[in-house]
Structure 1
Amino acid sequence: MISARLLRRIPQGYRPFLARGPFRRLLPALALSDLGDGMSVVVVAWLALQLAPPGAGGLLVGVAVACYVLPGAVGGPLLGRWLHGLPARRLIRADAWTRAVFLGCVPLAWALGVLGPALYVALLAGSSVLHAWGGGAKYALVAEVLPGGQRLAANALLGTSAWVAMIAGPMLAGALAGVVATPWLIGLDALSFAVLAVRAGGAGSTGSARGTGHAGASDQGGASDRGGASDRGDGDGGRAGEGLRVLRSRPELLGLLALTWLFNLFYGPVEVALPLFVGHELKADPGLLGLYWAAFGIGAVVGALGVGVLRRLPLWPVLFGIVAGHGLAMLPFGLHGPAALSVAGFALAGVVYGPYSALAFSLFQDLTPPAALTTVLALRASVLLTAAPLGAALGGAVTGALGPRPVLAGTGVAMIAVAGGAALLRARRAGPAQGPKSVTRSPSQPSSASQSPSPAGTVRE
């Protein structure tokens, strides 16, 4: 139990659901699983490098990163007939056990001497099949057990957990990699999900603050990634059709979805090229790789907290500026300078990226009818889940041909080109009354909670 003295020190918006209830009891296990996924940012790619045949490191890293996430995009719609309508806690438990079993087989296969590239990729793919549903179920649980006035603060807490894991996980993995074999670090990720599965199974009835909810496909997270949505409609096909109709009727939302998809696509190669850059170009160990990701995560937290400064600025120019600024921050990777230069650039990329989630999510909130919001967000999740893994898979092949340094800098050039092209297209098509001109989020609302960061190929907002 949280003591009364400690509870009084917690901001008012967080006190009700931290004082009691199934959400509070499950939160530590959710945070632990976030930490496990944060470690996977380093260890999934690093183990792929160790298992790859000579000359195939970039390709295997790309495939491994993609398989750690991409099956979730397929499992979301394909498994909807069976998973649609299940309570959120059961979906969390099912995903956690799936994650724990498949990832737990990695160190077991390594110990038995049978772990090769094909088996490793297959186990990663199996671990991710239900992960979109599990990620979405976290946010559906919030809707099930908390009244409307408490949900934003709960979402903020989930988002904060993922950001902290993005910082601490890679650093922890980098530190442990010097003393523990990489497959056992995958086992720690599996153990974190086993704890979540047990805790979700013993959390008791979740109840419902507003009837019975069920989870939809998620695009996290994480981060980033990056938020879940629950679908409370009557039929899978009808609800998906409704989401498509809403998007088609609102060009602003389609434009934002396209911009975000391209942003994530050109981010994908970073997760492949960065481990190769550290291991081959810099001849360094996983500790430096963890430092890169921790620097990005710290920068993203700073940027997310600073979103209030952007609240009154024109929304679309800010979004274009974030994409272009992220690209500019990647250009130091193309310079043959000390590692500190590219670490600083990656941290700056995090600062620039930090506000994007809250700003983009606010546009969906403003332009989507409330009754269709969860359906549209679930559809958006399925679309965005494909971007970064596809970019990672393509990035693996390109990195193998060109090397990691040109690929990392090239992603920056591509982001700048996307931002410039999108700005020109909008300038040609924009009318005098198209959508919100600025962010109108209240200063009292948490701004960093709408999406989570993107460890190990997870979707970014």
Structure 2
Amino acid sequence: MRLLAALPERYRAVLAIPPFRRFALGAIISSVGDGMSSVAVAWLALEIAAPGREGLAVGLALGAFTLPAAIAGTVFGAQANRLGARRLILLGSATRGGFLAVVPVLAWTGALTLPVYIALLVGSSLFYTWGIAGRTAMVAGVVDEPLRMPANSLLLGQSQLAMIVGPGAAGLLVHLVDAATVLALDALTFAGLFLIALTLPNPSVHGGTAAAVEHVRLWRTVDARLLGLLGVTLTFYLLYGPFEVALPVHVTDNLAGDALLYGVLLSCFGVGALVGNIAAGALPRLEPWPMSLVIVVAWGVAVLVIGLTSVPAVALVAVTLGGLIYGPHPALITTVIQRGVPAAQLPRVSAAWASAVVIVTPVGNLIGGPLTARLGPSTALALSGAATVLLGLLGALWLAGGALRRARGRLRDAAAPPADDNSPPAAAGGSPRDRDLGS
């Protein structure tokens, strides 16, 4: 109770909602498992890869862990509204945990090969986007709009806390036991989420049972400024993909480390991300466009430093600062989607967005695999960081150009003859939705 009383008022208000409290408990349990798998999935691929093919094996494993989710979300996304938030969470956690549970059994019996491993990772990811859509819709269904930013920040903060505990614990367990044991524990955490989800409500979504609409057509109904922000975000995640692949190889080749150092690096990222996210969630308002571009540029600089150093301490500092900068980004984007999309369309738009997100990162993984194998992990990281910085700078130029065009438009309007008294008054400063999107 003392810990709850110490939280900012907006977080206390969110935690006063009973369904949200239960959901948050299940989410943090599974997030700890995901934090552990962030080390174990890549490291198990390194262990079973043929000599000289480590980068390709890591790229394939990370891609298989997420890419099929995008395909399933695209093909079956129209069914998301029919299931409701709780059933989406149940399906996502059952498939994730069930397929992962098979991996350690095969590894311990000596029957796990790389193709079988990839196939099981594919199965574990099939309905991952539905689980994400269920979480987004659950928050929208049980939390009123003014409290959704702190609710999303709290959930993200929990996952970032798990990214502090999970990777470090996983690195230690891999060092002491093996990566397969870590994946067994991950499967158990999703069993916990499944059991808790059984106690949650299933928020209904009106108007969501209409005939299926293609995702491209669905996105045409979304505000153009929101689409621009999401486009920059997708490119950002695409450029993050090579970082995920190159980092574990960089640890072994250039930092003279093992799974323990890799886990500590990811935990340091989690520490920074948790602090940055909680600090941002306590603020009354953040403008999405400027904040997003600052995050993109600063993260790119951090990746450049990590790639160019061979000193573990420098890499640890850089990845911690990178996490601090990156921390608010996912909650910021989730809140913008919840704010800018009508409630009746939110689960399907969320599923479509989750599908888009989970397809670009594994595509980046698949690019990062051969890039790391051919050029080496240090060069792959440097290229990823430099391209990310360039993306942020181009986005800033585009944003400045839009602001200049709007300023010229206001000057023209001010110089125009006065409107007729019978004409409807113009809305000052744009619509509330325009301002919400940081235009």
TM-score higher than 0.5 = yes
Give unmatched runs, 5+ long, in structure 2. Answer: 410-429
CA distance in 1, matches of 2:78, 2:340: 29
Q: Rate the CA distance shift 1:310–1:87 in 2: closer, same or farther, 3 A.
A: closer
Asked if 1:91 is matched to 2:66, the reply is no
CA distance in 2, matches of 1:188, 1:161: 18
Residue 113 of structure 1: CA displacement?
1.3
Residue 262 of structure 1: CA displacement?
1.2
In structure 1, the partner of 2:248 is 275
Residue 428 of structure 1: CA displacement?
4.5
Asked if 1:199 is matched to 2:172, the reply is no
Asked if 1:381 is matched to 2:345, the reply is no
Q: Rate the CA distance shift 1:236–1:39 in 2: closer, same or farther, 3 A.
A: farther
Which residue, out of 7, 27, 33, partners 1:36?
33
Amino acid at match of 1:324: V
Which residue, out of 201, 209, 234, partners 2:209?
234
In structure 2, the partner of 1:394 is 367
3-state DSSP class of the match of 2:117? Answer: helix
Asked if 1:45 is matched to 2:19, the reply is no
3-state DSSP class of the match of 1:85? Answer: helix
Asked if 1:289 is matched to 2:265, the reply is no
In structure 1, the partner of 2:415 is none
CA distance in 2, matches of 1:396, 1:244: 31
Q: Is the 8 A contact 2:87 2:202 kept in 1?
A: no
CA distance in 2, matches of 1:321, 1:140: 28
3-state DSSP class of the match of 1:412? Answer: helix
Amino acid at match of 1:52: A
Asked if 1:132 is matched to 2:129, the reply is yes
Provide the alpha-carbon RMSD of the alignment: 3.3
3-state DSSP class of the match of 1:237? Answer: coil
CA distance in 2, matches of 1:94, 1:322: 33
CA distance in 2, matches of 1:172, 1:390: 28
Amino acid at match of 2:41: V
In structure 2, the partner of 1:164 is 161
Q: Deviations over 1:383-404 (max 9, x none)?
A: 2221111101110111001111
Identity of aligned residues (%): 39
Q: Rate the CA distance shift 1:358–1:436 in 2: closer, same or farther, 3 A.
A: farther
CA distance in 2, matches of 1:391, 1:352: 21
In structure 1, the partner of 2:75 is 78
Q: Rate the CA distance shift 1:281–1:144 in 2: closer, same or farther, 3 A.
A: same
In structure 2, the partner of 1:403 is 376
Q: Is the 8 A contact 1:242 1:375 kept in 2?
A: no
Q: Is the 8 A contact 1:144 1:206 kept in 2?
A: no
Greater CA deviation, 104-113 or 79-88? 79-88
Amino acid at match of 2:119: A
TM value normalised by structure 2: 0.83
Amino acid at match of 2:406: P
Asked if 1:329 is matched to 2:324, the reply is no
Q: Rate the CA distance shift 1:339–1:378 in 2: closer, same or farther, 3 A.
A: same
Residue 366 of structure 1: CA displacement?
6.2
Structure showing greater Rg: 2
Asked if 1:54 is matched to 2:28, the reply is no
Alignment coverage as a number of residue pairs = 414
The structure with the greater share of residues assigned to helix is: 2
Q: Deviations over 1:356-384 (max 9, x none)?
A: 33544565566556665555444333222
CA distance in 1, matches of 2:431, 2:328: 17
Asked if 1:432 is matched to 2:406, the reply is yes
In structure 2, the partner of 1:445 is none
In structure 2, the partner of 1:244 is 219
Greater CA deviation, 380-389 or 232-241? 232-241
Amino acid at match of 2:261: L
Q: Deviations over 1:394-427 (max 9, x none)?
A: 1011100111111112111111122223333444
Which residue, out of 106, 110, 114, partners 1:113?
110
Residue 101 of structure 1: CA displacement?
1.6
Amino acid at match of 1:432: R
Amino acid at match of 1:104: A
TM value normalised by structure 1: 0.79
CA distance in 1, matches of 2:23, 2:289: 38
Q: Rate the CA distance shift 1:251–1:94 in 2: closer, same or farther, 3 A.
A: closer
Amino acid at match of 1:174: G
CA distance in 1, matches of 2:136, 2:168: 27
Q: Is the 8 A contact 1:100 1:191 kept in 2?
A: yes
Which residue, out of 313, 319, 329, partners 2:292?
319
Amino acid at match of 1:41: S
3-state DSSP class of the match of 2:406? Answer: coil
Q: Deviations over 1:175-215 (max 9, x none)?
A: 212212111111110111122223334x2x6265xxx24xx
CA distance in 2, matches of 1:141, 1:306: 24
Q: Deviations over 1:15-46 (max 9, x none)?
A: 67756744434443321111000111111000
Q: Is the 8 A contact 2:208 2:345 kept in 1?
A: no
